Structure 1
Amino acid sequence: MTPELTLPEAAQSPAVLAGPAGILSSVREIATRELAPQVQAIDHDGLYPEETIRAFGEAGAYRSHLPGLDGQVPDLVTSIEAMAIAGEHCLSTSFCMWCQDALGWYIFNSENTALRDELGPGVAVGEILGGTGLSNPMKSFYGIEKLKLKAERVEGGYAVTGVLPWVSNLGDDHYLGIVFAVPGDGDKKVMAVADCSGEGVRIVQNEHFVALEGTRTFAVQFRKAFIPDSRVLADPIDDYLPKIRAGFILLQAGMTTGMIRGCIDLMMQMRQPLGHVNCYLPDQPEAFSETLAEMQETVAKLAATPFEPGKDYLVEVIRARLAAGEVAVQAAHNAMLHCGARGYVSEGAAQRRLREAYFCAIVTPATKQLRKMLADLGAA
């Protein structure tokens, strides 16, 4: 059981003190007031909306799912909904919120209470920001890639070397989760939190994206970077990974839910000017609304027991995530068709949502990895 951590009342905003409804109301207000006007700059200029991301944290967006915080059981649904509200406007920001949620999920599920006490409060309220760093490890665990980080044991910790090519929601003062192998020690794998400003750590932008450019996605280089034992999440990772896996996947429902809602809204906006011809399209917004409601019900049921063991539960989590990515792409495709030329211009919301939606299908675990995972489990 994760020990309780209580933040001082001064660190809890009025929205947090009002509970889930207060958190979500405040998140929606911030999304409308601050995020919506920045969407074009985020998409075209690669703006990283750091102040808005931190404001969401102050409102409580990154804390509801954290086990043991204020003595609570993890409430993934509120954290998912906070992401979804932002995702109605901008998938980049919703994705950064998921990165932040994942970092907190790692820390609060670790038995390293000193690390939780050091970084946990700041991560929970958005004062400390960071990324997940698990794209490569997640692929390596399922035989898709080789683990890219290796380490040697040194006094007081590990010296880590290697390069992670894609890690998001980063900056010089940010943190990220990492997994590294320790050759010569049974090739065990260890998970830890790395400091982007730490000695031997360097973040480098090496590509530009067709969407999600405002997510501060970098390659992270480790050159004998010292990771102290005080920053280790699990050593070894064997029992820890199953504990965090379902929550890691389920929290991504926030991104896809927001994306689908935004696309439904675009289709509905076209009812008045183009309804006389859009009615001939086979896929209508009402059908997506019904599908989304069913998906949310499934996710809520699964999210109520994120530590449930067993293959059957994991299969259902994977299937829910697979459906979410596929429906997000379908919804964005149909939003484009409903908007027509109005969505095909450089400032058009529909073409932006379509570009964003493909990220829902390729972010780890991607559609193809999810299908492989099901096949490996005998559930394809």
Structure 2
Amino acid sequence: MLQVLSRPEPGPARVAGMSESTRVAGMLEAVREAAARDLRPVVAKVDAEGFYPEAALRAFGAAGAYRSHLPEGDRADLWGAIQASAAAGEHCLSTAFCMWCQDALAWYLGCSDNAGLRNGLGREVAAGTVLGGTGLSNPMKTFFGIEQIRLKGERVAGGYRVTGALPWVSNLGDGHCFAIVFARPEGRYAMAIVRAGQEGVSLVDGGRFLALDGSGTYGVQLRNVFVPDEDLLADPIDGYLKRIRAGFVLMQTGMGIGVVRACIALMREVERPLGHVNRYLDVQPDDVAGQLAALEAEVAALSATPFDPDPAYWRRVVTARLAASELAVAAAHHAMLHCGARGYVQTGAAQRRLREAYFVAIVTPAVKQLKKMLADMDA
């Protein structure tokens, strides 16, 4: 069993005399500069060739993108991390998704009672010197009655032996790590960190996607993998899952916000050449911008209290995540209509944004799962 060593210690060192809002503003400026320098030039390569933008991801870490949301005791604010991934998403959703993977991994580590793991690997992940993924798609579906758990663990001296396979885990590569949830023999669950390349862990080709091929996504096979107690995030997972779930879901809204911002920009770009006919379309960029502003205000408010145990708060989180999916798809649809044929060519930005937006709607928790979760709450 995981020994509870202490409550989480404060996050990364703070600069004396500097307000949190000033720190976040500085981080976001650095992220935007890194996005323009390291991401924008390779966006077409990411989309067309499945290029993994590792240099940009590490630059975002150096800018502080993966640490502003880490908890200090029972307090945390996710809004800075969400805005950072949205800034990358204005250029490339695949990269914003990788940032969410990194943010989620840092969140798991920062929320763990395992002080050794939190203060060792946790600091490296928060700095972007170690990259990695979440591995929670299957368990998130399992906990809401959609799938069966795919990983099983057997207790052995000093840890567990874990076997099973996950069809897709993202933001992976040589030297990367990721989280797993596995069933214990008596039916409860534990959560741990696993490293790509360790004995028994294999990354396999996960197939080509309509978009997001540059996200470092692989199938993962675990064959009798030894997971030492030192690498356990939580065992059992029950209370820990409630601590991390709002952050896991809410930070995904950054992807949607980034796509919507990009789609509004595309619609505005064609106002001068096509405005004389686009004005007859039912939805205009100002309409989408108004919906986005309302979504951002709600997400910012929810981001300030990610450990709120009130069921009404959790319902608002799920509702906001659903709204981000639906608005992303709608905004991309309207951007395509506004851009017309120039957006429909193979290199057109509008068709790329449409493909990307559907990912926001199908990544776990997908629209259908979110709707099921809300229905279950009502029941």
TM range (shorter): over 0.9
Task: Look up the SS of the partner of 1:215 in the other structure.
Answer: coil
The separation in 1 between residues aligned to 2:265 and 2:7, in whole angstroms, is 40
**Structure 1 residues 317 and 275: alpha-carbon distance in aligned structure 2, compared to 1, 3 A threshold:** same
Instruction: Assess if the C-alpha contact under 8 Å between 2:11 and 2:70 holds in 1.
Output: no
Q: Is the 8 A contact 1:56 1:126 kept in 2?
A: yes
Distance 1:294 1:23 in 2: 24
Match of 1:336 in 2: 336
Q: Alpha carbons of 1:18 and 1:314: their partners in 2 closer, same or farther (altered >3 Å)? A: closer
The residue that corresponds to 1:104 in the other structure is: 106
On the 8 A contact 2:77/2:306 being kept in 1, the answer is no
Partner of 2:3 in structure 1?
none
Aligned equivalents of 1:17 and 1:265: distance in 2?
26
Q: Is the 8 A contact 1:192 1:234 kept in 2?
A: yes
Give the share of equivalent positions with the same residue, in percent.
Answer: 58
Task: In structure 2, list runs of 5 or more residues that go unmatched.
Answer: 1-5
Letter in 2 for 1:50: E
- Answer yes or no: is the 8 Å Cα contact 2:11–2:67 preserved in 1: no
1:64-123: per-residue Cα shift (whole Å, max 9, x none)?
A: 10113xx89422111100000000010000000000000000001010011111201111
Pick aligned residue for 1:92 from 68, 91, 94: 94
- Tell me how far apart the structure 2 counterparts of residues 228 and 239 of structure 1 sit (CA, whole Å): 21
Preserved CA contact (<8 Å) 1:67 1:74: yes
Select which of 48, 55, 58 maps to 1:51.
Answer: 55
Alpha-carbon distance in structure 2 between the residues aligned to 1:373 and 1:340? 37
Which of residues 161, 166, 169 is equivalent to 1:167?
Answer: 169
State the secondary structure of the residue aligned to 2:283. coil
Aligned to 2:253: 253
1:124 deviates by: 0.7
Name the counterpart of 1:288.
Answer: 288
Q: Is the 8 A contact 1:156 1:229 kept in 2?
A: yes
Which of 3, 10, 14 matches 2:8?
3
Deviations 1:197-234 (A, max 9, x none): 21110111131101000001001100000111001011
3-state SS of 2:238 partner: coil
1:337–1:17 CA distance, 2 compared to 1 (3 A): closer
User: Which structure 2 residues correspond to residues 211-226 of structure 1 after superposition, within 5 A?
Assistant: 211-226=211-226
1:65 aligns with 2:63: no
- 1:330 aligned partner, one-letter code: A
Q: C-alpha distance in 2, partners of 1:139/1:43?
A: 28
Cα distance per residue 1:286-341 (max 9 Å; x no partner):
01101000001111111111000122111111111101100000000010110100
Match of 1:301 in 2: 301
Structure 2 residue aligned with 1:279:
279
User: Aligned pair in 2 of structure 1 residues 136, 72: CA closer, same or farther (>3 Å)?
Assistant: closer
Moved over 4 A (4+): 5-10
Q: Does 1:241 align with 2:241?
A: yes
Q: In structure 1, how many angstroms separate the alpha carbons of the residues matched to 2:12 and 2:145?
A: 40
Q: Conserved in 1, the CA contact under 8 Å of 2:164 and 2:222? A: yes
Corresponding residue for residue 79 of structure 2 = 77
Provide the aligned C-alpha RMSD in A. 1.8
Tell me if structure 1 keeps the 8 A contact 2:75–2:307.
no
Kept after mapping to 2: 8 A contact 1:2/1:108: no
Rounded to whole Å, the distance in 2 between the matches of 1:327 and 1:376 is: 23
How far apart are the structure 2 equivalents of 1:84 and 1:6? Answer: 22
- For 1:186-197, list aligned pairs within 5 A: 186-197=186-197
Compared with structure 1, are the counterparts of its residues 117 and 278 closer, same or farther at alpha carbon in structure 2 (3 Å cutoff)? same
> In structure 1, what is the equivalent of residue 357 of structure 2?
357
Alignment of 1:8-23 (within 5 A): 19-23=23-27
Q: Equivalent residue for 1:131? A: 133
Deviation at residue 280 of structure 1 after TM alignment: 0.6
DSSP 3-state at the match of 1:214: coil
User: 1:9 & 1:309 partners in 2: Cα distance?
Assistant: 28
Partner-residue secondary structure (3-state), 1:111: coil
Q: What code does the residue aligned with 1:220 have?
A: V
TM-score (ref. length: structure 2):
0.95
SS at match of 2:69: coil
The alignment partner of 2:199 has SS state of coil
Cα distance 1:166–1:211, how it changes in 2: closer, same or farther (>3 A)? same
Residue identity matched to 1:374:
L
CA deviation after TM superposition for structure 1 residue 271, in Å: 0.2
Distance 2:334 2:59 in 1: 33
Distance 1:34 1:200 in 2: 34
Q: 1:360 to 1:6 in 2, by over 3 A?
A: closer
